[in-house]
Structure 1
Amino acid sequence: MVLYFSGTGNSRYVAKIIAEKTKDALISMNELIKTGSREELISPDRPFVFVCPTYAWRIPRVVEEFIRTATFTGNQKVYFLMTCGDDTANAIGYIKELCKFKHFELQGFAEIIMPENYITMYSAPEKAVAKEIIEKSTPFILKLAENIQEGSAFDTFTAKAKAKSGFINTAFYGLVVKAKGFHATDQCISCRKCVKLCPLNNIEMSGNKPAWNNHCTHCMACICGCPVAAIEYKNKTQGKTRYYLDTL
């Protein structure tokens, strides 16, 4: 069973390839989190494969919370694949703690370089550059799928600064990850796509425009998935390229 969480499509792209090549079920954690589903997830013969982005050099907190509270039965072998724009630092250390808590047997971990999407702080690449990054990473994703299908263990982690995944992650969530600042401009067409895309049900329509509540994980789905680029974050995103990889 391949479970993914994705804001702008990078992890969904990876998960789809893995599921297709291993002929395994593809499950959206976004939908399970959005609906509050905690039904038992059963994979009797195959490992669980978790695919998610890197948020401040760790797996997103909403993903960790979901895994901690969900019930997984059957095969207890797991793989974690993390998409990132640069590196995952010591994310593997926290994943090992999570696996110990869930009594999972960690079979493999890999970081996969994909286009940057966190446009509230950085710039997303232009379409041609994004396409090049994706094409460069695809053979590696296919190799990971082959290893998973064969049941091979792997670890592509390269040790880097643990501080990134430690106190910087804590500071990042405390100081940066806030919904306040997102707003819709007059270009908004009231299509409600942002409401649909938000995995935390944090957006609701107020009149003809979206309004953000206080439960946000900065997945960038709303701002990058808006079909008319009508959503901005404070004064940090004006004129920036939106990155959204729609593969499903």
Structure 2
Amino acid sequence: MICCFSGTGNSRYVAQRIANAIPQEHICNLNEYIKNNKSLEKEDRIVFVTPTYAWRIPRIVENYIKSNAPFDNANAYFVMTCGGEIGNAGKYLELLCRSVGLNYMGVAQVLMPENYIAMFSAPEREEALRIVDASEKTIDGIIDVINKGDAFSSSKVGIIDKLYSSIVNTVYYPLCVKDKSFYAKDSCISCGKCKQACPLNNIELIDGKPRWKGNCTHCMACICGCPTGAIEYGKKSVNQPRYHCPK
């Protein structure tokens, strides 16, 4: 089973690549499972494909995994898409696996285009395509390891990596992961796609306009999925491209 959480398509693309290469595996859309409070099936092997949030997997995914324990010692692979690096994420994934009855098979990172437009600028389509194309060899290597049933090779972790995944991750959520800066412009057509896309049911429509209710994970699904580009995040997103995985 391939469990994928994705806001703008990077992790979804990688998950689909893995699924296409391993026909016996099926994709579980964690966005929908979390949104609808649906439990995971029990499998002998689970591949979790997620974005990187502050050098670890998203807390929304970590909490969901904990809520589905125990896993009866299933083999667990983690694939993290990122705009830079995943820091010391492996340490925390191994601890997570121990706590929920998963057999930790390691973590692999896939460099993908930047999509966190609440803080950074996403690339234009041609540059995004170049980055995704460059990731294909890495994805092929990940597929090969999973097919063989081997564990991912561990990477060297430095002091900075440890700081990023510990102290920085700890302060990132209370300082940065807020929805107060989201708003909808008059170009909003009241389609409700933002509400539908939110994995935490954090958006409601009031007088036809989206309102955020304070329980956001910063997946960027709402702002990047708006068909008219009506959603902004303060001044940061103004005149910036909305990101969708170009493949």
**What TM-score, normalized to structure 1?**
0.94
Matched residue, 1:8 = 8
The aligned amino acid for 2:81 is T
The aligned amino acid for 1:137 is S
The aligned amino acid for 1:93 is K
Pairwise CA distance, 1:190 = 1.2
Pairwise CA distance, 1:204 = 0.8
The percentage of aligned residue pairs carrying the same residue is: 46
Matched residue, 2:102 = 104
Counterpart secondary structure, 2:86: coil
Pairwise CA distance, 1:57 = 0.7
Counterpart secondary structure, 1:12: helix
Q: Could you tell me whether the CA contact under 8 Å between 1:41 and 1:73 is conserved in 2?
A: no
Matched residue, 2:61 = 63
Matches of 1:74 and 1:139, distance apart in 2 = 33
Structure 2, gaps ≥5 residues long = none
Matched residue, 2:37 = 36
Moved over 2 A (4+): 71-75, 155-158
Pairwise CA distance, 1:245 = 2.3
The aligned amino acid for 2:43 is S
Counterpart secondary structure, 2:239: coil
Pairwise CA distance, 1:105 = 1.4
Pairwise CA distance, 1:68 = 0.6
Partner deviation per Cα, 1:94-130 (whole Å, 9 max, x = no partner):
1011011012211231011001001111100000000
Partner deviation per Cα, 1:139-174 (whole Å, 9 max, x = no partner):
211221121011122225341321111111111101
Q: Could you tell me whether the CA contact under 8 Å between 1:48 and 1:75 is conserved in 2?
A: no
Matched, 1:27 2:16: no
Matched residue, 2:124 = 126
Distance 1:119 1:32, change over 3 A: same
Counterpart secondary structure, 2:42: strand
Matches of 2:163 and 2:37, distance apart in 1 = 33
Q: Could you tell me whether the CA contact under 8 Å between 1:182 and 1:231 is conserved in 2?
A: yes
The aligned amino acid for 1:107 is M
Matches of 2:5 and 2:96, distance apart in 1 = 17
Pairwise CA distance, 1:43 = 1.5
Q: Could you tell me whether the CA contact under 8 Å between 1:21 and 1:146 is conserved in 2?
A: no
Identify which range, 150-159 or 135-144, moves more after superposition.
Answer: 150-159
Counterpart secondary structure, 1:239: coil
Distance 1:19 1:3, change over 3 A: same
Counterpart secondary structure, 1:180: coil
Distance 1:22 1:74, change over 3 A: farther
Distance 1:69 1:102, change over 3 A: same
Partner deviation per Cα, 1:176-201 (whole Å, 9 max, x = no partner):
10111100011111111111111111
Matched residue, 2:178 = 178
What RMSD in Å do the two structures reach over aligned CA positions?
A: 1.4
The aligned amino acid for 2:61 is V
The aligned amino acid for 1:154 is F
Matched, 1:50 2:48: yes
Q: Could you tell me whether the CA contact under 8 Å between 1:41 and 1:72 is conserved in 2?
A: no
Q: Could you tell me whether the CA contact under 8 Å between 1:77 and 1:105 is conserved in 2?
A: yes
Counterpart secondary structure, 2:15: helix
Q: Could you tell me whether the CA contact under 8 Å between 1:197 and 1:221 is conserved in 2?
A: yes
**What TM-score, normalized to structure 2?**
0.95
